[in-house]
Chains A and B, each alone.
Chain A
Amino acid sequence: MSNWDILWSSYDVFLSGFYNTLKLFGLSAVLAFLMGSAMVFLLEGSRPRLKVPLRIFIDGMRMLPFLILAYLLYYGLPSAGIRMSAWTAGIIALVIYHGAYFAEILRGCRSTFAQGQVEAAIAQGFSQPKMFMRIILPQLILKTRGLLGNQLIILLKDTAFLVIITVRELTAAASSLSSTYFIPMEAFIVVIGFYWLISIGLELFIKMIGRFGAKRGFENA
């Protein structure tokens, strides 16, 4: 039996790893984006109350490695009496960490908007949340799609760190297969191929948004 046959016979291990990685990625991408948008919404208005704490939080996260945050939640918090599973700790770490990055991307773009748009919306009687959802956020997404796409790919790659805190995701699958059958080369080639596929898929998705944006004159990301 060749090494590839051995791998094929345990395709279910890959599939469950792949599925777990997708689940980690999908769930935390959505939540992190919501969190980032919410933070930018809280920064709306001329004198937002939460400006300073949010600034500190966002900059703080951007100066930390993702893994140290995961360590903090999984290994550190139990000594403060807070215990959670590796899976939960992993998702929370991904959401908090990438939420801050999403917030920074959107905030940077928001600060370049002309005031006139907001005034026009207020003049028409939009409420603050409605204006944010209907006027600001759609433009932010179109304008920052390239950066958002990059961030999604970084998020995808950060899920692999969770193998270190014992989450059973895709890289963990390769690692366990390669130690069971001692075929690291083949196992990792398959797994890297999976990551590559998802990344290319994400890039295509961003291009699609780009075509949608180009029609509306949002040429440059």
Chain B
Amino acid sequence: MPETAAVSIRNLSKSFDGTEVLRDVSLEVQPGEVVSILGSSGSGKSTLLRCINWLEQPDRGDIRIAGDRIGVSDTGKPMSRRELAGMRARLGMVFQGFNLWPHLSVLRNVTEAPIHVQGLSKAEADERAMALLEKVGMADKREQYPYTLSGGQKQRVAIARALAMQPKVMLFDEPTSALDPELVGEVLGVIKDLSKEGYTMVLVTHEMEFARAVSDQVVFLDKGIIIEKSHPSEFFENPKTDRVRRFLELEAPAV
């Protein structure tokens, strides 16, 4: 019997104002696996990611995190805010726009949720946060405020903030799309390190080379449907559909 999937998505559908954004999507992410979701803009890939932690509520289908259903409690009723917060704490999310809290220093951004959600003491939270800031190379900036940081630095702090809750799964929503080209590398470097350490990650990205290098599984979404799901080597070298072939031609770095 296989171990419980870290994320299990079954028959997910979602529409906005009558337009179907996701249609009957199913996907399993095994513990330790890195899954990249690719697709052109408007394909529904960000929506899929945001459904996983219930920032968007799907119309149909269900999502389980390590076997536990998110959004809907055992009795079939919508989860209370508290239950939902508890489920979300098991998922770390990194946003395209960083979304740091500007009134808190780098260190306090990272310790805020451990202290006020998990109930850690300040000393414990500080210790955990410093280790993570060390890992993303931001320890020396711990007393600074977000407005003094570059985009790449902000995103590394945001990654440390998400890791501080010791999540089962990390979700990345186009983590480098808002960055200047010369800052993309430092953020991808951090994510790559995490993949080597065995974190379970779901990644929405436009960085093809990167997806190829870190993923165990690549998923291609088109108009809300998964049309290809395969190992990166096969996906990039031997795509099964014309749609993916066209996409790869357009996205291929112009060398």
Report A-B touching, CB under 8 Å. no
- Interface residues of B, Cβ cutoff 8 Å to A: none
